[in-house]
Chains A and B, each alone.
Chain A
Amino acid sequence: MAELTYRDAVAAGIAQEMRRDPNVVFLGEDVAHAGGVFKATVGLLEEFGPLRVRDCPISEQAILGAAMGAAMTGLKPIAEIMFSDFLAVCWDIIANEMAKMRYMTNGQVTMPVVIRTANGAGSRFGAQHSQSLENWAMTVPGLKVVAPAFPADVKGLLAAAVRDGNPVVFFEQKSLYSMKGEVPDGEHVEPLGKAKVLRRGSDCTIVALAAMVHKAMDAAEVLKRDHGIDATVIDLRCLVPLDTQTILTEVARTGHLVTVEENPRLCGWGAEISSIVTEECFWDLDGPIVRITTPHIPLPAADALEDATIPSVARIVETIRTRID
């Protein structure tokens, strides 16, 4: 085990796959010489050279189009879109092209491509550089959606995404880039579509993703210590494939479901999970499902306002304390 930051785990995951497979290539804006604006890809150019690690113009459609064309013809590209907000300018390539090509062609094409992007709030960047957009990707058939919360999962899930053979949108939480954690030495691959139960309690099941996993864990500590509520916390890790079995099992055991989502309210992933749980284990529920989300607003920039909009430990504690009994 080595202690790595979340950002170093990104480079470690890419490097692991590039060493293993010469068809893995990496492209994006400022990713090679500069090592990425978040310094998550430092050292890759030096190790793998300019033919495999390539700086691109500010042309998100060209970056993802090139990744797609390369993926269809034998390469396994990893493309970086600097901020997930920029997915909007190249969404056609992701949602209309990459996601549908295999189905439309009756399986003639495979699309082994990973789109890495920095997602989420906490950096006071305002409404166009702070969004949590994993729900956009979740709504499109043909996209896998990954959002790790820990450095070990960054490396392991990134490796799995490269090997998956499908378009994977890989949301890195920009507020977690400096977080440190233990990462297994040697080759490390975590399967896509497996949620992780981080702690088990008997009173409610909290399902969270990415940065909200850490808030949920902190809230669970407070709930136990101060209020005698013992919560299970599930780190989803992937939205597609969705590990519904882990969720259903834990909800059936605790009788309560709380989702903690950084995304704005409408059609957040928690709504889909709420729907599945309602349809499939309604009689195991002891009370209404609770969704804790960011309000349905564009994000404000000021630190005080941003902190007041994103679900906080205090809001999670207070909501669960008053809604679960």
Chain B
Amino acid sequence: MSAIPKAKKPEFEIGRETRLDLFRMQLELRMCEKRAFDLFLQNLIKGTSHLSLGQEAIAAGFGVAMKPDDYTFCTYRGHAHTLARGASMSGVLGELMGRECGLMSGKGGSMHLTDVEKGVMGSYAIIGAHLPIAAGAAWSAQYRGTKQVSVCFFGDGTTNIGAFHEALNFSVVWKLPVVFVCENNFYMEYTPIGAVTAVEAPAGDRASAYGLPSIVVDGNDADIMFETAMAALDKARAGGGPSLIEARTYRHSGHSRADPAKYRPAGELEEWLKRDPIPTYRERLLRLGFSEGTLKGIEDDTQRRVDEATAIAKASPPPSFDLIDKDVWADGSTAWRN
């Protein structure tokens, strides 16, 4: 726990509506992810899934801070980041369930959630690949002069792969409007990140190698994440180039569906559950004078929306077999010969 930076006093006030947005967003990510877990246990979600339970404040902070035409690049642990841009819950759950109503009608699955209309430019299941791709989208925004920012989320394990370092150097040299967000949950997959990394802060301590300031923040605090996101987005939009942020957090479940996370020392999860971003945020809102009724209303409404989305996804048929033979190429076809 000593690894978590102390919460700073907010440098600027966060509006009351924004705070409710942050609360609502975190709840949606949590409840939808819990539902995904339930559906997995019911064998309605096949394959694998990588849950973000416990890490919601990061995706929510950025989701609320970003503009509608900004770009998001996610990892295979991307349900939350996709939802945080406004992708439909039934589209996400439907994709996980392999249904026609899925964001990609079942052709991508849990690890590849994409919703281009909402700026979600893909979820990438090869560690590190999407950092240079996010840089490319930022280059495109810079070239076209659109003031869009590209935000790329990844885990602590990614900081040890080559693409991380290539993308950081490239983005700084080209001064690209891109924000790299390392979600340090202290485990690369099953192995503690500290056991395989040369420095204590996997992203923060690498920043200086690329001439960037070290930014290490409490990823379990949605207010801090919102402020951090705003600062990095503003810097990128103003032509100030990339940022590298290390947000420290903890996943409540294992790496993937297959992982019971038995490698974690006894008591570690319990300690982190005391810092669960959602109950702690709720307490803060009560202290700030939001009424119990307002918060309860948001919780009930979010649960109702998750239930509705679940019903829509369950009622959706499997995708049409026609889709197998569609969209390898831009013309919609799959033909490789005449």
Chain A residues with CB under 8 Å of chain B are 25, 51, 54, 56-57, 59, 61-75, 77, 92-93, 96-97, 101-112, 141-142, 164-166, 193, 240-245, 276
CB proximity of B76 to chain A, nearest CB, Å: 12
**B324, closest chain A residue (CB):** A103
- B residues in contact (CB < 8 Å) with A: 71, 104-105, 107-108, 112, 114-117, 121-122, 124, 126, 128-141, 143-144, 150, 162-163, 166-167, 169-170, 173-174, 323, 326-332, 334-338
Which B residues lie within 8 Å of A241 (CB)? 335-338
Q: Please, which residues of chain B bring their CB within 8 A of the CB of A110? A: 330
A-B contact pairs, 21 of them (CB 8 A): A25-B143, A61-B167, A62-B132, A65-B131, A65-B167, A69-B137, A69-B140, A70-B139, A73-B136, A92-B129, A97-B129, A102-B329, A104-B114, A105-B108, A105-B116, A105-B122, A106-B105, A112-B330, A141-B336, A164-B330, A165-B329
Q: Could you tell me the distance between the alpha carbons of A70 and B133 in the complex, rounded to whole angstroms?
A: 8
User: From B134, which residue of chain A is reached at the shortest CB distance?
Assistant: A69
For A56, the chain B residues whose CB sits under 8 A away are: 170
CB distance B107 to A104 under 8 Å? Answer: yes
Determine whether the beta carbon of A73 is less than 8 Å from that of B71: yes
In the bound complex, residues from chain B placing their C-beta under 8 Å from that of A68 are 132-133, 136
Question: Are A69 and B112 interface neighbours, CB within 8 A?
Answer: no
Contacts of A244 in B (CB 8 A): 337-338
Q: Which residue of A lies closest to B165 (CB)?
A: A59
Once the chains bind, are A105 and B170 in contact (CB under 8 Å)? Answer: no
Given A73-B140, A244-B338, A109 and B114 contact (CB-CB distance below 8 Å): yes
* A interface, over-half SS: mixed
Report the Cα distance A101→B104, complex, angstroms: 11
Q: Which of A67, A74, A242 contacts B144 (CB 8 A)?
A: A74
Q: Give the Cβ gap from A300 to chain B, nearest Cβ, in Å.
A: 30
Contact A103 B328 (CB under 8 A): yes
From A70, A93, A110, A111, residue with most partner B Cβ within 10 Å: A70
Query: Is the beta-carbon distance between A57 and B173 smaller than 8 angstroms?
Result: yes
A240 CB contacts on chain B under 8 angstroms: 336
Query: Which A residues touch B163, using CB under 8 A?
Result: 61-62, 65, 92
Task: For B330, list chain A residues within 8 Å (CB).
Answer: 102, 110-112, 164-166
- When C-beta atoms are compared, the residue in chain B nearest to A195 turns out to be B338
* CB–CB B108/A104 < 8 A: yes
Per CB-CB distance, the 8 closest pairs between chain A and chain B, nearest first, are A69-B136, A65-B132, A165-B330, A66-B136, A59-B166, A62-B166, A69-B137, A62-B170
Residues of chain A within 8 A (CB-CB) of B130 are: 65
Q: Does the CB pair A106–B323 fall under 8 Å? A: yes
A54 to B142, CA, bound (A): 14
- Whether B326 lies near A75 (C-beta < 8 A) is no
